[in-house]
Amino acid sequence: MLFRGVTDIAHELIPSIGRGTREGTCGDSTTLESNMLSEFKRLTVPILKQPPSSEFEWLFLAQHYGLPTRLLDWSSNPLVALFFATEREDDRDGVVYYLRHPVSDQYHLFDYRVACYTSEAAKAPSGRIAIQPEQGSVIFVRPRYTDERYVNQRSVFSCPKDPFTPPAFKGLKRLSVKAVWKEEIRRRLRVLGISNSYMYPGIAGVASELRSLMFNPVASGRLQMLTLRAEIQLT
């Protein structure tokens, strides 16, 4: 099973590269995507100890650092999806999507631009083992990176042929998460070790965790002042 959590139930399953173009703000997204990825490669190769060896690995890296791509994040862990569904926007209902779908880690066989075989893989019958006919206009791939964030989040990515339209996923279901439940769900997830510092390993995750636990309750008026120093265990 694959799961995706979204903080606002009104948001469609459209990747970041397709959102602005639907609103007419980014022009031709196919050209934009290609140009951004080319510039990303050019500017990061000098500072990378080991540059990615395939187009998909470049996409994983770009997505990781916030560049708009056609990839959409999913997870094989439902608690991870629940974390993302409740992470913010406490005034809006969230949602967890879930479905069964083939996943491949042999992404070198695919051309991400058409969500299908590369011309080389199409000629090799052995290469087709990794690709299921149900995948159609979208493929699901699992990164091989040992990046701690990917490991903790149990990351899987969907890659559509058309990044502007929500794919017609066969068997897609959803579970709504009421806005009033979000704070309590976050608390219970922290008890289970699913927290900002776990989902975003490193200093940024620690800062986000402290902001959530110590600053936000005061800023929102739920607490007037933190008068006692508390030990906070970061997972």
Q: Does position 233 have pLDDT exceeding 80, yes or no?
A: no
Q: What is the pLDDT of residue 23?
A: 46
Average pLDDT estimate for 106-115? 62
- DSSP H helices in 45-181: 55-64, 78-86, 119-123, 148-153
**Per-residue pLDDT reduced to its tens digit, 154-212:** 999 998 888 888 888 889 999 999 999 999 999 999 999 999 889 988 777 778 777 77
Residue 14 has pLDDT above 60, yes or no: yes
Residue 203: predicted pLDDT: 79
pLDDT (tens digit per residue) in 41-60 = 999 999 998 888 888 889 88
Q: Residue 94 gets which letter from DSSP?
A: E
Our measurement of the distance from residue 180's CA atom to the centroid of its chain's CA atoms, rounded to an integer in Å, reads 24
Q: Residue 171 contacts by C-beta under 8 Å, 6 or more apart in sequence?
A: 99, 100
* DSSP code per residue over 99-134: E----BS-GGGEETTTTEE-HHHHH-GGGGGG--GG
- Check: CB of residue 173 under 8 Å from CB of residue 98: yes
Nearest in space to 32 (alpha carbons), one of 9, 47, 15: 15
Q: Write down the pLDDT at residue 80.
A: 97
| Percent of the chain surpassing pLDDT 90 | 36
pLDDT at residue 156, as a whole number:
94
Q: What is the pLDDT of residue 125?
A: 53
pTM for this model (two decimals): 0.78
